[in-house]
Amino acid sequence: MVGRADHFVQLINTYCLDVETILSQLESYIDLPNVDFSNLAALATEVGERSSCIGAEHVRLACLDLTRACDQMQKQNIRQALSWTKNEFARTRNKLQVLVQWLLNLSALAASNADGAEDYEARSKTAKIECYQVVFLNVSRILVISLGKWYYLLNYNKQSNSNNFIFLI
């Protein structure tokens, strides 16, 4: 169970770092005297695809607008769309950080359950608090994976060819 939580935490952290890097590149490229609009559109599409894979729907939708702005080749529209995309990403990143904390706490609780270090009542109170945090993520499709007395609340992409779990934010 700890390995799965670590995998999801790594997936989220990689997504956040990659998107932050690409958004920074977009911002620096837009200020160049000779803007390569096709390169900007490709980067916007990449952010959209990465966001789609992890289920960050609001970021994906903002990237569609950013890609359209790049296709129009108007810097002002691109700046506005980029600002919206960065705002949606910041909101999504904050929600994902809550999810990461929840996964780490769940992993720690499971480890303590295996070791018998905590009593069940204390663990169940903590689990309820953490579950309330997850409710605020506005997750629409959830797969519940039971691991003993603990549960992972994850969104599963059934259309994917792989068994990746994604988070819909």
Q: Where are the beta strands (DSSP E) in the chain?
A: 143-147, 150-156, 165-166
- Mean pLDDT, residues 110-129 taken together: 52
pLDDT at 104: 80
pLDDT at 139: 39
Please name each of the domains of the chain with its CATH number: 2-94 (1.20.120.160), 95-166 (no CATH)
Higher pLDDT, 154 or 87: 87
pLDDT > 90 fraction of the chain, expressed in percent and rounded? 45
At residue 122, does pLDDT exceed 90?
no
Q: Exposed, middle or buried, 96 (CB in 10 Å: 0-12/13-18/19+)?
A: buried
- pLDDT per residue as tens digits for the range 4-13: 677 888 889 9
**pTM attached to this predicted model:** 0.67
pLDDT at 105: 78
Cα dihedral sign, 86-90-96-97:
positive
pLDDT at 112: 65
- pLDDT per residue as tens digits for the range 95-113: 988 888 887 877 776 666 6
At residue 14, does pLDDT exceed 90?
yes
d(C-alpha 102, C-alpha 84), whole Å: 27
